[in-house]
A and B are shown apart, each in its own frame.
Chain A
Amino acid sequence: MELNELIQGFISLLFIFAFSPLFAGIVNKQKAIFVGKVGAPVLQPYYELIKLFKKETINADSSSFISVFSPLINFATVIIAAAVLPIGFWKPLISFDGDIILFAYLLGLARFFQILAAMDIGSSFEGMGASREALFAIFAEPIFFFTVGSIAFVSGHTSINDIFHSVRLDNITVIVFVVVCSISSFILAVTECSRMPIDDPNTHLELTMIHEVMILDNSGIDLFFYQLSSYIKLFIYSVILTSFFYPFSIENYWLALLIFFVVMLFISTALAVTETITSRFKMKNIPQYLLFATAIGILNLLIFTFSG
C-alpha cells in the first residue's frame, strides 16, 4: 500500500467519523420540515454528543464489566468496519479479497456485545429488545448477501472496493438490477439502523423499540459511544447505497465529490420521507418483511443472470 492510498484511507475514516452526526441531523431536519415543523438545528447531534460526554456515567446495579466494555467494542468495531468501505473514489484502508465477509462479521461482533450488554442490566425491557435484535439480524444478513454479494458473484470480485468499482451502469438491464438491489439495501439499512418501519427512534416505549430499549439504562460516556456508533452505522449503510450509483470512472475530482454529496442527500431525503409516511409494522410481521426484501433480491439476481 502506497503512502497516497494510506492517506486516502485515513481521510475517508476521519470523514466518516466527523460527518456522520451531520448526516443524522440532516435526516431529522428533513423529517421535521416534511411534517411542517421547524425542527432541531442540523448540528443538534453534535451538541447532544458533547452534552453526553460531560455527564456522569451511571450503570445499573446488576451490571458487570460487560457494560463497561461493550460500548467500547461497539465503537471500535464500527469504525474498523467503516474502514472497509470506499467513500467516493478514495481507496479504503482495509481492502483485500474476501473483506465482504469481514465487514458482515465485524458488525456481527458489535451486535454480539451489544446484546450481551443489554441483557447484563437484568431487566426485561432490555431483554425484549435484545431478543428482537437477534431475530431481525438473522433475517437481515441474507439481504446483505443477496444484494452486495450477488454483485460479488456476478463480477467475480470479493473485495467491497472492487465490487462497487465493477458496477458499470451501461445498459438498461444493469440499471434495473442496481435499482432493485438498492431497494433491498434500503430495507436492510432501515432494519440495521433501527428506523421506521422497523423501529421508532423517537419514542422510548418498550413496545416499539428494538435498538432504543437496549441502551435504555446507559448514560454519560457509554451513551456517547452508543449514539456515535449508531450515527456511524447509519452513515455506513448510506455509503453502501450511494456506492451502487456512484460513477467510479469519473476523473474530475470535484465533480465526483459533488455527485457523492448529492446522492447522499437524496438518500437522506428518502430515509426521512419513509420514516414520516410509514407506521411501524407489527413485530411478528417483520421477519416476513425481511423475507420480502430477500425475495426481491433473489428475483433480481435470477432475472439478471438469465437475461444475459
Chain B
Amino acid sequence: MQNVLSILFCLSLFYITVTSNVRAYISVLRFQGILLVILMILPFIPDLSIFALILPLTMLIVKVILVPQYMTKIMNDLNMKRDIESTIQQFNFLLLVCFSMAIIFLVSNYLSKSTDIAVIPFATGFSAVTVGIYIIIFRKKLLVHVAGFLVLENGIFLFGLAVASEFPVIIELGSLLDIFAVVFLMGIAINKISSTIFTNDRRIQRRDP
C-alpha cells in the first residue's frame, strides 16, 4: 500500500513539472498533503488510539487546509497572473526531471541491497526533494518558490517515513519547517511583492502583479 501511495505521489510530481498554472501548484500541494496524512495513519490502522491521531490531524489542518488556503488568499489579493514564469523550456525541464528521477531510482535500488530501506518511498522522497530544488532554481515567481519549498519539505517527510517506521525527530522537524514556510509567506504578503526580488531595480519598479 505504501508503494501505491508513493506512485501516486510521483505522478503528482510529474504533474507539477508539466503544468504552467500557479493554482495547479496549490492543488497538487493539497493532494500531496492528503497522501502523506494517509501514509502516516497507515501503520496504526490495526489499533487506533488518540495519540496516534494527533500528528496526522495537525498535519492535515496545516498542510491541506491552512497553507493552501493562505496561498490562494495571497494570490487573489495580489491579482497574480496565472502563468508561472519559467527560465528554461518546459520540455527541457521535464527531460531533466525524468533523468534525475531515473538516476535516483537506480541509486536507491543499489543502496537497498546493503541497507534496509523501502525502495519506492525512499526514491520518491528523494526525487520530491530534487523536484522542489529544480522548481526553486528554474522559476521566477516568488509564490512558486514557496510552493517548491513545500514540495521539498514533503519530500523530506516521505524520505523520513521510508527510512524509519516510527516517528523520529526528523519528521517532527519537518512539521516545524511547514510553519516556517507560512511565516515566509506572510513576509510576501506584507511587502506585496509578487514577482522576483533578486533582480535589478527596473523589474521592481515595473511591479507587474
Contacts and interface: CB of A to CB of B under 8 A. Distances in A.
- Do A and B share a complex? yes
Interface of A: 172-173, 176, 180, 285, 287-289, 291-292, 294-296, 298-300, 302-303, 306-307
A307 B119 contact: yes
Interface in B17-33: 17-18
Contacts of B108: 306
B4 interface: yes
Nearest to B8: A176
A295 B4 contact: no
B82 to A, nearest CB: 14
Contact of A287 (B11, B14, B91, B102): B91
A307 B1 CA distance: 12
Given A288-B91, A291-B98, A307-B120, A172 B4 contact: yes
Contact of B105 (A176, A295, A302): A302
B105 A306 contact: yes
Contacts of B18: 288-289, 292
A298 B14 contact: no
Interface in B67-125: 90-91, 94-95, 97-98, 101-102, 105-106, 108-109, 112, 119-120, 123
B94 A307 contact: no
Contacts of A289: 18
A295 B3 contact: no
What is the interface of chain A mostly: helix, strand, loop, or mixed?
Answer: helix
Contacts of B7: 176, 180, 299-300, 303
A225 B50 CA distance: 68
B94 A292 contact: yes
B10 interface: yes
Contacts of B102: 298, 302
B49 to A, nearest CB: 28
A299 B11 CA distance: 9
Contacts of A291: 91, 94-95, 98
Most buried by B among A180, A289, A306: A306
A9 to B, nearest CB: 38
In the A-B complex, the 9 residue pairs with the closest CB atoms: A302-B105, A295-B98, A288-B91, A306-B109, A292-B18, A288-B90, A306-B119, A291-B94, A299-B10
A307 B3 contact: yes
A296 B94 contact: no
Contacts of B94: 288, 291-292, 295
11 contacts: A180-B7, A287-B91, A289-B18, A291-B91, A291-B94, A292-B94, A295-B14, A298-B101, A303-B3, A303-B7, A306-B108
B141 to A, nearest CB: 19
A306 B120 contact: yes
Nearest to B92: A288
Given A299-B11, A303-B105, 15 more contacts: A173-B3, A180-B11, A285-B90, A287-B91, A288-B90, A289-B18, A292-B17, A295-B94, A300-B7, A302-B105, A303-B3, A306-B109, A306-B119, A306-B120, A307-B119
